Amino acid sequence: MKAHALLGALLLGASATLHAQAGREEFREAARNCRLEPHAVQRACMARELCMKNRDPERCEWRYFMIMERRDIVLVACKGKQGTVLRDCMREEYKKLGPEPKS
């Protein structure tokens, strides 16, 4: 009985790892497809590429832009910091922004 539980846990862990690798590969592919776009439209290209297979591409793109906007605010606030100071600064700035909107 314990062997079945162990096998199930191992398979679950392996599937999570494979899913994460697939996400990274999708991001790399989108970056390859958008690398020649002008900088001003590159973010829109990335959103389009990453969300094209999503069941609700418009909502996916909206969420992508919302996350990137929050990221830009945090990076401006923590500009010039490195290492653990940067990590702590980013954590605090994200807390100040509050939870990201669900939709």
Q: pTM score, two decimals? A: 0.67
pLDDT top residue among 30 and 103: 30
Distances (CA, A) of 99 to 61, 64, 65, 67, 70: 18, 15, 15, 11, 10
pLDDT at position 15, please?
A: 39
CB 51 within 8 A of CB 64: yes
Q: pLDDT tier at 98 (50, 70, 90 boundaries)?
A: confident
Can you count the helices (H) and strands (E) in the chain? 4, 0
pLDDT at position 39, please?
A: 85
The enclosing H or E element of 64 equals: helix 57-77
Q: What is the residue whose two structure tokens read 């290492």?
A: 83
pLDDT at position 3, please?
A: 52
What is the tens place of the pLDDT at every residue in 28-69? 999 999 999 898 899 999 999 999 988 999 999 999 999 999
To the nearest 10 degrees (0 to 180), the angle between helices 39-51 and 2-34 is 140
Average pLDDT over residues 74-86: 95
Give 46-59 as a DSSP string.
HHHHHHTTSSSHHH
